[in-house]
Each structure stands twice: as structure tokens, then as C-alpha cells.
Amino acid sequence: MIDRAPDRPTVRVEDVHKRFGRLEVLRGISFDVARGEVVVVIGPSGSGKSTLLRCINHLEKIQQGRIYVDGELVGYRVENGNLKEESEARIARQRSRVGFVFQRFNLFQHLSAIENLTEAPVHVLGLSPRLAREQAREMLSVVGLEDKARAMPAQLSGGQQQRVAIARALMMNPKLMLFDEPTSALDPELVGEVLKVIKYLARTTGMTMIVVTHEMDFAADVANRILFMDGGVVVEEGPPAQFDNPREPRTREFLRRVLQRDGAEEETEPDKLDVNGGSQ
Ligand code: ADP
Ligand code: MG
């Protein structure tokens, strides 16, 4: 078998423009993600981060530009120099190679943890149920939930549900994982266990990832590069160390607000607060 050229990026985003009606949400975004690279995307609410991830998976059409995953044009084919949207079947196949983990865990509520994992491999990839269950047990142990195979989502904490969602995405053996604020819906004490799993994946499997998160310690630790988006453009891009002392005033202002907010949370949440509840 011929392997791909080693220098071909796993993701190439070229001058992507995305409009919702008259609102231009992505205004010419370009960047590459090399194989095995972890890119963290930060930026204020409404800057276009989720839309960007959704475009990479062709959950949104784009009006201009091109996106390639693993060398393949996503969502479109070129016909007489024009882009034509691909068939549903082909788009579904492209999507099956990209794992997407959402802010809200999006598990099938009526299926157990292990059934959430085996569903797509059996029904989309045609894997035998027995083999799928075997692989699912391995994946659950990767995310530290081997003892929760039979639990229903409602019986799991948010952190555990998110780890099931990550394991479910990994079952499809993706070329690329997209994480859209995977910990922002979690109680603060559950954030660490999810970040730890993502970090473990980055370190041990060399999975290519784009992670939208404002967890700057995680970014500093795991990211090869950080992109700061604002107003639908990439304002600043560089290695994490650059973001200790950003070049762009807008980046500095944004990080000041993020770090301030984290600090404020710590002050108003002493560790003795609310032992028995709050969530009930
Ligand atoms: P972020 O993830 O950075 O908070 P989003 O990508 O979710 O930003 O949104 C960027 C902008 O696009 C926002 O102004 C949002 O209201 C708008 N937007 C997102 N999805 C839609 C949609 N389906 N229809 C219309 N506007 C949308
Ligand atoms: Mg978002």
C-alpha cells in the first residue's frame, strides 16, 4: 500500500468564508494542521469557532474557499472549475473519518455506554457485534470507564458521559478529532478528568486534533499551536509560549478576561461549598 506523503497536512483550511444570510461568520480563514498535531482554538463567544469546526466536518456549507481532510476535498468536488456539493453518501463517508465531540455530550440516552460505542461501528462500518463489543471494552478502558459498560447515560456524571462520547468517537478510528468546548458544560471538579483523557490521546496515540477550549493550562501543556479567532478571522497564531505574552492587543485583552474569570470562579467557590447538592 502506498502511504500518504509525510508532509501532507491532515487538515488544510484555505481562505474559508461562511455566511448565514447576510452575516459573514468566517471571513477568510486559512491554516494547516499537520498529522499528529494538536491545535487549540480560542476566541470570544460568537467569533466563529464552532462554525469553523462544523465546516471542517461539512455540517455547514461554505461560500468560498476549500477544506481538505487527509488530502481529500471536504463536502465538494470540482467540476469544470466550480465546486459542486458532494453526494450525501460521500459526505457521510468523509464524516465517518472525523470524530466530533460536542460541548453537550450528545449520547443516545436510551442506549447503555457500550451500546453507544458499538452503534455506529456495527451499523455504519458493518463490524460484527461481537468484535464491536470487544473494541468498545478496550475504548472504555482507555477513557477509564471499563466498569461502566452497562450504565445508562443518565446514571453517569457529566465527566463520565463526555468520556463515553470521546470513546464513541474513537471507535470509528478517526483521522482527526474535533473537540468543541468539551469541558465547558461540566462542573469545575469534572473538567480535569476529561482534559486528562484528551491529553492521554494526544500523547500516546498521536491523534491529530483541533480543540476549542479556554482551558489555557491544558493548551499550554498539550497544544503544538494556538489560534486566536475574533470576528471570523484568525487574529494571532503561534506556539503556546507566544500566548504568555501575545503580540496582538485583541489577544491580550481576551486572555486577560479569560484569566480574570477563572480567578473569580476560584474566589467564589471555596472547596467546602455545597457538599450535598446544588445539582439537585
Ligand atoms: P463561537 O463558537 O465562537 O461562539 P459560533 O460559530 O457558534 O461562534 O457563531 C458565530 C456567529 O454565527 C454568531 O454570531 C452566531 O450567532 C452565528 N451563527 C451560528 N450558527 C448560526 C446559524 N445556524 N444561523 C445563523 N447564525 C448562526
Ligand atoms: Mg461555540
CB atoms within 10 A of CB 248: 12
Confidence label for 266 from pLDDT (cuts 50, 70 and 90): low
Q: Name which of 6-15, 36-45, 232-241 the model is least confident about.
A: 6-15
* Residue 2 pLDDT greater than 80, yes or no: no
Are 162 and 101 in contact by the 8 Å Cβ rule? The answer is yes
The number of residues making up the chain comes to 280
CA 186–ligand 2 middle distance (angstroms): 15
- The tens digit of pLDDT for each residue in 84-126 reads 999 999 999 999 999 999 998 789 999 999 999 999 999 988 9
Residues 19, 22: Cα–Cα separation, whole Å = 6
Q: By alpha-carbon position, which residue is closest to atom 16 of ligand 1?
A: 46
Work out the percent of the chain whose per-residue pLDDT is above 70.
91
* Residue 228 pLDDT greater than 70, yes or no: yes
Confidence label for 82 from pLDDT (cuts 50, 70 and 90): confident
* Residue 270 pLDDT greater than 90, yes or no: no
* Residue 231 pLDDT greater than 70, yes or no: yes
Interval 13-24 mean pLDDT:
97
Confidence label for 264 from pLDDT (cuts 50, 70 and 90): low
DSSP secondary structure string for all residues of 217-230: HHHHHH-SEEEEEE
Q: Which ligand 1 atom sits nearest the alpha carbon of residue 51?
A: 6
CA 221–ligand 1 middle distance (angstroms): 29
What local confidence, expressed as pLDDT, does residue 217 receive? 95
CA 229–ligand 2 middle distance (angstroms): 12
Cα-based angle 241, 54, 10 (whole degrees, multiple of 5): 60
Interval 73-81 mean pLDDT:
93
Burial environment of residue 227 by CB neighbours within 10 A (0 to 12, 13 to 18, 19 or more): buried
What local confidence, expressed as pLDDT, does residue 72 receive? 94
What local confidence, expressed as pLDDT, does residue 265 receive? 58
Residues 91, 168: Cα–Cα separation, whole Å = 20
Interval 210-238 mean pLDDT:
97
Q: By alpha-carbon position, which residue is closest to atom 13 of ligand 1?
A: 46
The sign one gets for the Cα dihedral 83, 84, 85, 88 is: negative
Going by C-alpha positions, the residue among 172, 186, 235 that lies closest to residue 41 is 235
